[in-house]
Chain A
Amino acid sequence: MPDTGKHALLEVRGVTKDYRLGQTLIRALRGIDLSVEPGDFVSIVGPSGCGKTTLLNIIGCIDKPTSGTVLLDGLDVSTFDDNREADTRLARIGFIFQSFNLVGVLDVRENIEFPLILAKVPRAERAKRVDRLVELVGLGEFVQHKPDELSGGQRQRVAIARALVNRPSLIIADEPTANLDSTTSTTIMEAMKALNEDEKVTFIFSTHNELIERYAKRVLLISDGVITGERNTGGAQSKSGSAEDAAAMMAQAKSGRSAT
């Protein structure tokens, strides 16, 4: 890649990941190269066990590659120690998980606020950001609800708000719609798409659902730990591009159409 003087948001070069399972060596990633520019909306698509989650974990600084480098904002995060990794995740990366992974003992507001507290953001600023995001994801009525009092779609919206709250450069979503019904999945994907287009938030998400992958601008095909191809879709499924539209769509899901 020619050096244009501007760094890609993310550059993955020759990344491999091996696991040892007893005597057996499992090669989860076999040399991954990819580049993600700011504002991208990238989908990683492949069957179960092909290495999608492993790749997202390495990109998200929650796992280390066996070899290769991962440059995030020009910094080689693959060499970071535990604390720098944690700080990088806090400052630059937001996560959305398939199983929502909310903190069960905290309510909606506290779950969204959690990364801000870790980042030592002042109380007033925290309140401002959380209020905005609560409105954005359409959970204004549920701020004091605990996760187990919410539907699957509502929980994932909390997770989206939490991922956005620290204004990260990159949001990684590992099969964000896998535990949701199709209607709620559409709502969530529309919301993510709107945030990407309106707020210029960069998303990388994995899926093995063809309907969901169509939302991506770029689709990377992965199989047996190797990227086998790339499609540019241009985000064909996009219906809207504003955060307000996303809020409106997510607010619709409050009616209880979502399910786990």
Chain B
Amino acid sequence: MIPRLAFLSAVKHWKRSLVVSGAVAVACAVMIAIGSLLNGITGSFYDSVIPNSGHIRIEDAGMSDSLNPLSLELLLPDADSLVARIKAIGDSRIEDVEPVLSFGALLVEDRDDIDPRNLAMRGMGVSPDTRFADNVRFTMKEGSFLPDGQGIALSERAARLVGAKLGTGLLVLVQDRNGEPWYERLVVTGLFATESSDFDESTFYIAESKAAAMLDAAGMAREIRLLLSNRDDADSAAKEITTAISGKSNGSPQAPATLRIQTWQKINASIFALLLFVKILLGIIMALFAIVSGTIIANSSLMSVMERIREYGTMRAMGLRARSLERLILIEGLMLGALGAALGIGIGFVIVAFLSKGGIDLGGIMESVGLSRFNRPRLDFWWFAFCTVTSLIVSLLATAKAARSVGALGVAESLATSS
């Protein structure tokens, strides 16, 4: 009888029910949308940033203080032997070890012109069959990524800026390790387009062997990147590599003083800081929505209940206990909360589906830390479940106030109200 009574009351006072369910639905939908947005940013980080940076990075210790991250004085001198030693460990957790040689270069339009177009960029010398650089390899628009180790891969945007097309030549000017200028004419073999305009305007790829030849840096690398089968193993794998490199087997291993070994958490500390900031910001927005919705639900429930005080007084006069009356009001609140949560899930699903089609342009702040400026919200079952449960809890808590207010009223007092 009590659930039926709660249902009938909710139907009879349908306008008020609509306000309560609507508030729950909006709060639930906003929570789902914001949570999915956050999930999208985090997912983008794990999908693109880590595969680019690697799970472990080994570089010259001087890189930590260097103002010029492309200084040729801070290359690893024996990168090839270091790679060989790491591979010799035979750790099954390590999927790939690759030297990467980054450098500063000027791309110049290849034509007999008094004023050819040019663009200062960061060159990345990588293995043609690299396991990294996912954001480039999987966004090739024309050509392919360094076929047979030949040519240059740059973004469509950069190509436009220097007047290059697929198959045309491009001059790459560098200063080698001895300070001597050097240039090479490379054919554009691939054009990519990531979702970061900053990245597209600043980075091109050539084969690591070609870069080493141009820079007179054979066997050297800017850094060595490691890809692990499980990113959670980064700390323990880093320790094992440190031990192998330093030659120590007892005690706490330390990397040789000239090297810096970092896990993906340290490499991406700035991104984590940004993610934390974004999480806090979105958390505050969600909390505000929960508070506003909770207040709307509480007030609507209170008004709805206050309008029926005499009816409740009558039920208590008939012999309904105060606790049962509170349960009746809570069940009604729970029903409306469940309806609101169901609506909210539907609305949230539609919003997320719509936004994830085109993505949301979050601007340069994302690009500045290497994330795509376009965020595509991602759905997550557990987040859905969390939002549903939270909506129900907020509804219950908000209704509980109204229920307790009525339960605390005396029967005579309830019957004497003019409602």
Residue in A86, A87, A89, A117 whose CB lies within 8 Å of B1: A117
| CB neighbors of A among B394-410 (8 A) | 410
Asked if A60 and B317 make an inter-chain contact with CB atoms under 8 angstroms apart, the answer reads yes
- Complex interface: chain A residues within 8 A of B410 (CB): 62-63
Binding site for B on A (CB under 8 A): 57, 60, 62-63, 82-83, 86-87, 89-91, 95, 97, 99, 101-106, 114-115, 117-119, 162, 166
**A–B complex contacts, Cβ < 8 Å, 22 sampled:** A63-B411, A83-B321, A87-B319, A89-B318, A90-B318, A91-B319, A95-B314, A95-B318, A97-B314, A101-B311, A101-B313, A101-B314, A101-B317, A101-B415, A104-B12, A104-B311, A105-B8, A114-B318, A115-B318, A118-B318, A118-B324, A166-B319
- Complex interface: chain B residues within 8 A of A118 (CB): 318-320, 324
- Complex interface: chain A residues within 8 A of B8 (CB): 105-106
Q: Knowing A62-B415, A63-B410, A114-B1 touch, does A105 contact B9 (C-beta < 8 A)?
A: yes
> Mask for B320-348, Cβ within 8 A of A = 1, else 0?
11111000000000000000000000000
Query: In the assembled complex, how far is the CB of residue B18 from the closest CB belonging to chain A, in whole angstroms?
Result: 17
- Complex interface: chain B residues within 8 A of A89 (CB): 316-319
User: Which of B9, B12, B316, B321 has most A Cβ within 10 Å?
Assistant: B321
- Complex interface: chain B residues within 8 A of A63 (CB): 410-412
Asked if A162 and B317 make an inter-chain contact with CB atoms under 8 angstroms apart, the answer reads no
Chain A CB within 8 A of B276 CB? no
Q: Knowing A103-B5, A105-B5, A114-B1 touch, does A62 contact B411 (C-beta < 8 A)?
A: yes
Chain A CB within 8 A of B315 CB? yes
In the bound complex, what is the Cα–Cα distance between A30 and B70 (angstroms)? 98
The 8 residue pairs across chains A and B that have the minimum distance between CB atoms? A90-B319, A105-B8, A62-B411, A63-B412, A101-B314, A117-B1, A57-B412, A86-B321
Residue in A102, A104, A106, A119 whose CB lies within 8 Å of B319: A119
- Complex interface: chain B residues within 8 A of A82 (CB): 321-322
In the bound complex, what is the Cα–Cα distance between A89 and B319 (angstroms)? 5
Chain B residue, CB-CB nearest to A82: B322
Chain B residue, CB-CB nearest to A57: B412
Chain B residue, CB-CB nearest to A87: B319
Chain A CB within 8 A of B57 CB? no
| CB neighbors of A among B160-198 (8 A) | none
Chain A residue, CB-CB nearest to B416: A53
Asked if A103 and B317 make an inter-chain contact with CB atoms under 8 angstroms apart, the answer reads no
- Complex interface: chain A residues within 8 A of B5 (CB): 103, 105-106
**13 more A-B residue pairs beyond the given contacts A103-B311, A105-B5, with a C-beta to C-beta distance below 8 A:** A57-B411, A57-B415, A60-B317, A62-B410, A62-B415, A82-B321, A83-B322, A86-B316, A86-B320, A95-B314, A105-B11, A117-B1, A119-B319
Asked if B320 and A62 make an inter-chain contact with CB atoms under 8 angstroms apart, the answer reads no
Query: In the assembled complex, how far is the CB of residue B13 from the closest CB belonging to chain A, in whole angstroms?
Result: 9
Chain B residue, CB-CB nearest to A107: B8
Query: In the assembled complex, how far is the CB of residue B92 from the closest CB belonging to chain A, in whole angstroms?
Result: 67
Chain A CB within 8 A of B225 CB? no
Chain A residue, CB-CB nearest to B323: A83
User: Which of A60, A82, A86 has most B Cβ within 10 Å?
Assistant: A86
Asked if B12 and A105 make an inter-chain contact with CB atoms under 8 angstroms apart, the answer reads yes
- Complex interface: chain A residues within 8 A of B12 (CB): 104-105
Chain B residue, CB-CB nearest to A163: B318
Asked if A95 and B320 make an inter-chain contact with CB atoms under 8 angstroms apart, the answer reads no
Query: In the assembled complex, how far is the CB of residue A60 from the closest CB belonging to chain B, in whole angstroms?
Result: 7
| CB neighbors of A among B1-31 (8 A) | 1, 5, 8-9, 11-12
> Mask for B238-272, Cβ within 8 A of A = 1, else 0?
00000000000000000000000000000000000
In the bound complex, what is the Cα–Cα distance between A57 and B317 (angstroms)? 10
Residue in A83, A99, A104, A162 whose CB lies within 8 Å of B318: A162
Asked if A114 and B315 make an inter-chain contact with CB atoms under 8 angstroms apart, the answer reads yes
In the bound complex, what is the Cα–Cα distance between A72 and B397 (angstroms)? 39
Chain A CB within 8 A of B310 CB? yes
Q: Knowing A82-B322, A114-B1 touch, does A103 contact B412 (C-beta < 8 A)?
A: no
Query: In the assembled complex, how far is the CB of residue A248 from the closest CB belonging to chain B, in whole angstroms?
Result: 28
In the bound complex, what is the Cα–Cα distance between A25 and B393 (angstroms)? 43
User: Which of B9, B311, B314, B319 has most A Cβ within 10 Å?
Assistant: B319
Chain A residue, CB-CB nearest to B2: A117
- Complex interface: chain A residues within 8 A of B318 (CB): 89-90, 95, 114-115, 118, 162
- Complex interface: chain B residues within 8 A of A103 (CB): 5, 311, 314-315
In the bound complex, what is the Cα–Cα distance between A106 and B411 (angstroms)? 20
Query: In the assembled complex, how far is the CB of residue A82 from the closest CB belonging to chain B, in whole angstroms?
Result: 6
Query: In the assembled complex, how far is the CB of residue B190 from the closest CB belonging to chain A, in whole angstroms?
Result: 71
- Complex interface: chain A residues within 8 A of B313 (CB): 101
- Complex interface: chain A residues within 8 A of B316 (CB): 62, 86, 89
User: Which of B313, B318, B323, B412 has most A Cβ within 10 Å?
Assistant: B318
Chain B residue, CB-CB nearest to A94: B318
- Complex interface: chain A residues within 8 A of B412 (CB): 57, 62-63
> Mask for B365-400, Cβ within 8 A of A = 1, else 0?
000000000000000000000000000000000000
In the bound complex, what is the Cα–Cα distance between A63 and B5 (angstroms)? 26
- Complex interface: chain B residues within 8 A of A117 (CB): 1
User: Which of B12, B323, B324, B412 has most A Cβ within 10 Å?
Assistant: B412
Query: In the assembled complex, how far is the CB of residue A162 from the closest CB belonging to chain B, in whole angstroms?
Result: 7
Asked if A115 and B319 make an inter-chain contact with CB atoms under 8 angstroms apart, the answer reads yes
User: Which of B1, B11, B12 has most A Cβ within 10 Å?
Assistant: B1
- Complex interface: chain B residues within 8 A of A162 (CB): 318
Query: In the assembled complex, how far is the CB of residue B414 from the closest CB belonging to chain A, in whole angstroms?
Result: 9
In the bound complex, what is the Cα–Cα distance between A91 and B311 (angstroms)? 20
Residue in B11, B314, B322 whose CB lies within 8 Å of A86: B322
In the bound complex, what is the Cα–Cα distance between A162 and B320 (angstroms)? 14
Chain B residue, CB-CB nearest to A61: B411
Chain B residue, CB-CB nearest to A118: B319
Query: In the assembled complex, how far is the CB of residue B326 from the closest CB belonging to chain A, in whole angstroms?
Result: 12
Query: In the assembled complex, how far is the CB of residue A17 from the closest CB belonging to chain B, in whole angstroms?
Result: 10
Chain B residue, CB-CB nearest to A54: B412
In the bound complex, what is the Cα–Cα distance between A90 and B319 (angstroms)? 4
In the bound complex, what is the Cα–Cα distance between A64 and B215 (angstroms)? 98
